[in-house]
Amino acid sequence: MSQQYNMDGGYKNIKIEIHEGVATLRFNRPNQLNAMNREMMDEIISGIEEINANDKIIVAVITGEGRAFMAGADIKEYAGQTPEEFEAFQKQGVRLYESIEKAQKPWIAAVNGFALGGGFEIALACDMIVASKVAKMGLPEVFLSLVPGGGGTQRLIQKIGINRTKEMLFTGGQYSAETLLGWGIVNQVFQEEEFDQGVTGFAQKLSRRPSRAIGQLKRLANLSVTSIPFDQKIEEEGKVVTALFYSKEAQKAIHDFMHKR
Dihedral, 79, 80, 84, 88 alpha carbons, nearest 10: -60
Nearest C-alpha neighbor of 30 from the set 79, 78, 70: 70
Catalytic residue selected from 77, 98, 121, 249 = 121
Given 141, 194, 235, 236, the catalytic residue? 141
Neighbours of 233 (CB within 10 A): 15
Whether 178 is catalytic: no
Q: Is 141 known to be catalytic? A: yes
**Dist CA 69 CA 173 (whole Å):** 17
Positions annotated as catalytic residues are 121, 141
